[in-house]
Amino acid sequence: MKTALITGISGQDGSYLAEFLLNLGYRVCGMDLDFDPVKHSYLAAIQEKIEFIKGDLRDSDSVDRVLEASRPDEIYSLASQSNVALSLKKPYLTADVTAMGTLRLLESARRITPSARFFQASSSEIFGNPEESPQTEDTPRSPRNPYGWAKAYAQEMVKVYREEQDLFACSAICYNHESPRRPETFVTRKITRAAARIKLGLENRLVLGDTTAEKDWGFAGDYVEAFWLMLQQTEPDDYILATGRAHTVEDFCRTAFEALGLDFQEFIEIDQAFFRDWETRPLIGNPGKARNQLGWKSKTGFVDLVHLMARADLEALQQPNQA
């Protein structure tokens, strides 16, 4: 039985990955600063199968203790401060958790479990405002916010430990991947949650920024399979995980409201305060390398993804005491 350690196990990606690995027969350990089973109820069905270990990525000694307790064969570094807007308000926290937290985990792995295979979740935000679209693994890095810079640093450290410290270490440059487990601070859940509340008569409008902005949206449940596949290869490498297809925020709104029998145009209000001045070129990924070398592709189509999220929010709001 292999052992996997997942940091950020209570997040969207961590929970899907835990389910996936348990189904493969792994012993799954989850590093979490303050696990709350009520807040993360989607782990309820598998909670008893996971070994939760309290740890703080901001503390090297804490990270050491987690690796000594779990002794993993595979390490999945998913925990981060991943909200772009919040990174502008809290750059120190973002750097400490997202950048330095990855470095602390890499260094602990080098000293304590050097044979463990290491996965780090990077982000398309490392490309900033790219000159080319779609982007490839070789597209120049030019982040435009603290989160993007933190992820770029973490990815470079993965490369350093792979090439100079002989760790089997990989980074996945992840494009937007969504699910019903996405926090409501992200625009996709803001949209589907609002559509469900409007359907139930609990709200009457949705305020958004630039609805012409284009994104590459996939399903998180598909992406975690690629995380695992990357650590099963003969040699470590970095890969873009994306659908390669662009849709606008307006497309997402239309599809979400249509899933619930509504016309989004009757409920949308545009507010310039939500516009992001740095987003002028779309972040669209070329997943060709992952397709050719890993045999992976995003399976869930855009419409199916949005319908899944909208209907899940509607169902959740119809439960007692959830409105």
Residues serving a catalytic function are 123, 125, 147
Pairwise CA distance, residues 133 & 304, whole Å: 25
Angle separating helix axes 187-199 and 302-317, nearest 10 degrees: 50
140: enclosing H helix or E strand: none
Q: Reduced to 3 states, what is the DSSP secondary structure of residue 197?
A: helix
Pull the structure tokens for residue 260.
Answer: 């619930």
Closest C-alpha among 258, 240, 241, 262 to residue 303: 258
CA distances from 145 to 29, 100, 276 (A): 32, 16, 11
Pairwise CA distance, residues 76 & 170, whole Å: 10
CA 103 to chain centre: 19
Torsion of CA 58, 62, 64, 69, to 10 degrees: -140
Closest C-alpha among 148, 147, 126, 146 to residue 135: 126
Closest C-alpha among 148, 149, 131 to residue 140: 131
- 167: phi > 0 → left, psi -120 to 50 → alpha, else beta; which? beta
Closest C-alpha among 279, 65, 114 to residue 187: 279
The label of the residue with tokens 């479990």 reads: 113
CB distance 238 to 173 below 8 Å: yes
